[in-house]
Amino acid sequence: MTAKEKAEQLHKQVNTFILSCVGADGYPLTKAVVPGKHRESLSELYFCTNTSSTFAAAISQNPKAAVYFYSRKLRWKGCTLKGSMEIVHDMTVKERFWQDKFKAAYKQQSYTDPDFCLLKFTPTVGRYYANFTPQDFTL
């Protein structure tokens, strides 16, 4: 199995993702998030946040980003992906990733709330780590 295939498998099993981007001050801006409702492949990853967040503001200024996910239960397997992130404006896509558990966080209790922000991450390179060995791959 290739490093990319191993990373693909891992991303469907873990529940915490760490997002990083370039903050307005030039330093990394990092936050932990839960994965999107649908996880089909590593070629497109989706995450939800608030339009009013510092993270969304940073992404709108500089799309360079990284995503890290790992599992302690699976003997510290992990993966870093580098690529670009964008804010999704397509309401059909936003509706697809909306979850009822988000209602408490948004006044309109819907994907149509202006503060509901969907981020799309498109990676170009990755590094899978397991058994004390890193393996680089491209997407």
- Per-residue pLDDT tens digits for 46-98: 999 999 999 999 999 999 999 999 987 877 899 999 999 999 999 999 999 99
Of the listed ranges 1-5, 12-16, 64-68, the least confidently predicted one is: 12-16
Nearest-angstrom CA–CA distance, 62 and 65: 8
Residue 46: predicted pLDDT: 95
Higher pLDDT, 75 or 125: 125
Residue 82 carries which side chain, given as an amino acid letter? Answer: K
In the predicted structure, residue 34 carries a pLDDT above the cut 80: no
Write the secondary structure of 73-138 as one string of H (helix), E (strand) and C (coil). Answer: CCCCEEEEEEEEEEEECCHHHHHHHCCHHHHHHCCCCCCCCCCEEEEEEEEEEEEEEECCEEEEEE
Percent of all residues in the chain with a pLDDT value above 70, rounded to a whole number:
99
Give 102: exposed, middle or buried? Use CB within 10 Å, 0-12, 13-18, 19+: middle
Residue 38 has pLDDT above 90, yes or no: no
Closest CA to 89 of 125, 69, 59: 59
Report which of 18, 24, 1 is spatially closest to residue 81, judged by C-alpha positions: 18
